[in-house]
Structure 1
Amino acid sequence: MIERFDTGPRMSEMTIYHGVAYLAGQVPEDTSADIVGQTEQVLQAIDDLLRLAPTDKRHILRAEIFLADMADFAGMNQAWDKWVPEGATPARATVQAKLANPAWKIEIVVTAAVP
């Protein structure tokens, strides 16, 4: 059975199937924040969704990070390194991409195991 969370007409924020949670791309709400602030907002949104699964960041299998500008790589990593659990770092890719909203500096997609 597929479980869907925060389902709208276009997408769900998260789906779960066979013990794996697939999160939609998470973006910041406050676009006036710098890259560290926007990253912290996105990571909090990920924590909130994972809690619904229920799982947590220790069970993230893969993270895909989209940055509007690679000049923000160091700032993003500053927030990421504080958040990611030592010894439970997921597979990760970071790329530069033109995001749907020009005010967004970051979007993160994660896939996590649901124990």
Structure 2
Amino acid sequence: MIQRFDTGPRMSEMTVHNGVAYLAGQVAEDAGADIVGQTEQVLAAIDALLAQAGTDKRNILRAEIFLADMADFAGMNEAWGRWVPQGATPARATVQAKLASPGWKVEIVITAAIA
């Protein structure tokens, strides 16, 4: 069985199958915020989606981070470092990419176990 959360005409914010939650790319609501603020918004959205699936950030298997500008890497890592649980850090990739909206500085995709 596949569960879909916050399903719209083009995508779902999250799907769950066989004990794994797959989150769509999460972006900031306030595109006017700096990289730290946008990253904090994205991480809060991830927390909320994981809670809907009955899991949390300690069970993240993989994080894919897309930055509009690699100059924002340190600021993103500042917010990430405060949020990610030490001893339960996931596999992670960070790349520069042109994001769908010019105001977005960061987009994060998460895959997490439901434990």
TM-score band, normalised by shorter chain: over 0.9
**Aligned AA for 1:47?**
D
Question: Residues of 2 paired with 1:114 and 1:67: CA distance?
Answer: 27
**1:19 partnered with 2:19:** yes
Cα deviation code 1:56-99 (max 9, x no counterpart): 00000000000000000000000000000010000000000000
Q: How does 1:27-38 map to 2 (within 5 A)?
A: 27-38=27-38
Cα RMSD, aligned residues only:
0.3
**Aligned AA for 1:56?**
D
Q: Which runs of 4+ in 1 moved over 4 A?
A: none
Q: Which residue of 2 aligns with 1:110?
A: 110
Measure how far apart 1:29 and its partner are: 0.4
Structure 2: runs of 5+ lacking an equivalent: none
**Aligned AA for 1:72?**
D
Structure 1: runs of 5+ lacking an equivalent: none
Q: Which residue of 2 aligns with 1:68?
A: 68
Identity of aligned residues (%): 80
TM-score, structure 2 normalization:
1.00
TM-score, structure 1 normalization:
1.00
